[in-house]
Structure 1
């Protein structure tokens, strides 16, 4: 979205048209919709702007729920925006630390600033991109204690501000295509600036969950967060917003519930042993936080093979930190023999899970030539270093 498009969108005509559109339907005849709106006298630029926003609002419901219907977005801003339930956890950190004025530096479309303002904190949000800053200002209009500055993070005056939240730009948009920035050194603002603020005030920094762990400053709290099985962020906390004695944390959110595994540092892996009656797949946040060993010891489990994130045990365990499978049978690891074994069981629908083996599940599924009316799940992995194929069922 460019400046001219935003001006049209924010006009009374533009906002009325946007709010009056029916809910976005990806199967609708868009050409006909455009033609209908043009016949009503709306300019081509305005029609394109409102339809783009309607599509983004529809996608944004997964992150912002009902609030999305009253917000504006950019493509890159929505991609990087924090889910509202996770942003509320960020805001809670600052509130519990007694910080009543927070700078959101690099606020994007304002997702985290919304959560901070919603718990009645004063918020100074800043965004270097002019269009994105204007969108954030629109989204924060209901909160009188929140202001948005069109400034780079490095130029924001921080006098009187008690803490800072930063979500460095990790995506860039060019020619209508949004792509991830691969090198953390190219983030904006830079990580040196973000973590350097901790010398002045408590700081939280949001990073991608796969960020190189070498960038995490010593003595900080690193918390990986997953939502409904998807690891969504690494939050690095410093100063009063970091918890004493917590260096690594895995926060697992499923539906309305949450559970957390914490430790002072990476945990030592559990011993390796033979396959038990049950197989466990740790949540991605636990894997990223390197707390698999602690999870194993807490549940009487052991590693199935060195360096592979599967645990095994002889007892069924109900844990929010892992998905469990009952092991039904060992199948041949050889592909031809595996195909014969599945055919003998009349398996026509197959879920393939894998760790520690170089195989494309979709391509393998085609080569297995599945036929039959039964369904199954197999796990391709290693047991004490050896390739295995396991027939399992979820528990």
Structure 2
């Protein structure tokens, strides 16, 4: 499995310098929420974890002891735009020049049903940490000192690349079965081998519970997993444990490593939908069924079905001919799934046939089906010759008309 660059052990107890921690708009936000420096807010989750790993940070979340209405009042007083994105669960989004920040009141779970949780607000940081899924996601950082708070061994797990549930793995999964897919996604992104035995065993044992989740939630997690640099070892593990079969029974991950290698060789960015196509048989109706079941968009369904229509006929067509017939993205899918080069598509714009029906009529062909047949015949020769210029197209037209 390809892993991020190793980091020193043990992990630092303070966040190292990072561009986002020096943002003036974040300092203003902290001043608005905690003007007297009483420790009322902290950075939490992915921003803390990824900064410790030396990775780029995209999203920033904050936790606070302030109640939602207090957060709103503080933001309003400071003139900071806000959106109540999840106020029922304590989340207010502050809209800042450097990007939005989600601010959530500390919480504890009251009841869970395997899909959703009823929460109550809390004043205890450890209580808030205890309801999070993995130890590496339950790290907090003081926004002024950048000192890290770790309640469940997340720093040690981060140093050893261990993805581990907080508390009893089976209990945490029963609270929300989507955590099984989240576990494997985090294992693919951060984990080491061997994996945490208790966490992996719990995922395997409780995988059938995922059938009660919404298809949209499953699709989102699968796509996030497939978009990672190299998810193939993790998908193989999921298949071996029977987990993959509970969410995507049609999937067979044996060909995925070859696709990942081809993408890397061709310098093409990972694409989750293309990789999903690789997991599925070359069967367009089946691909349509899977796409419908996962509630994919119409465009995604069409693209998945197009990738599933790959076959021996593709080998006889050039990369540019495929792109002309299918579209650039669809041609890239077919080429990469076949292990072929995509170099001919680099910097190449799909052309339009420089011939119109009126030009054919002007040559004496009666308007109607004969024009369409002539146009198709010229187009086929034009594509076969590698899309020559207009002068050559007119020669091809002469040839077609003469043969007709």
Question: What's the TM-score once normalised by structure 1's chain length?
Answer: 0.30
- Normalized per residue, the structure richer in helix is 2
Larger radius of gyration: 2
- Normalized per residue, the structure richer in strand is 1
Q: Relative contact order, CA 8 A, sep 6+: which one is greater?
A: 2
